Structure 1
């Protein structure tokens, strides 16, 4: 079954238009989300204030905060509030973030 040239051109232009519309939609969604950086130093200071190893806690918390832009409230537990923070693990499979 042979397709006419105008039909093929129409299909290709339609696909191109759909791809551009999708890219524009993604771009607009990205700009509408305002992501403000949190102060990792003060957030980790509050998180690690009762830690028995404060230097280690601050270092791990700072790394996790920089990657996730989130630190759970309180001094322990509540990690599931920040999914990125909660799911980050070391090479050994242990939780990285305090």
Structure 2
């Protein structure tokens, strides 16, 4: 159960990163809804990490949490055309995803 919570918490890391990106408009004014999504997601994400760390070693849990967040945030950025999906970038993100799976296998 801790691993499921950890993976979902990593996914929420991608949610709060995307919401944080959307909090500013071109005019520099802050937008309320993305700000609230950011706040809820960051609290749930770090809370889930804390719960998972009760039964998964700290280093492993943190690496998986960040890895899932990085891969999903980058995927979102590629889909929304905020970043270009180059071959090198996709290969390196695949390496991060493989490392996350590897940490699960050896933990």
What is the TM-score when the length of structure 1 is the normalising length? 0.29
What is the TM-score when the length of structure 2 is the normalising length? 0.27
With CA pairs under 8 Å and 6+ residues apart, which has the higher RCO, 1 or 2?
2
Name whichever structure is richer in helix by fraction.
2
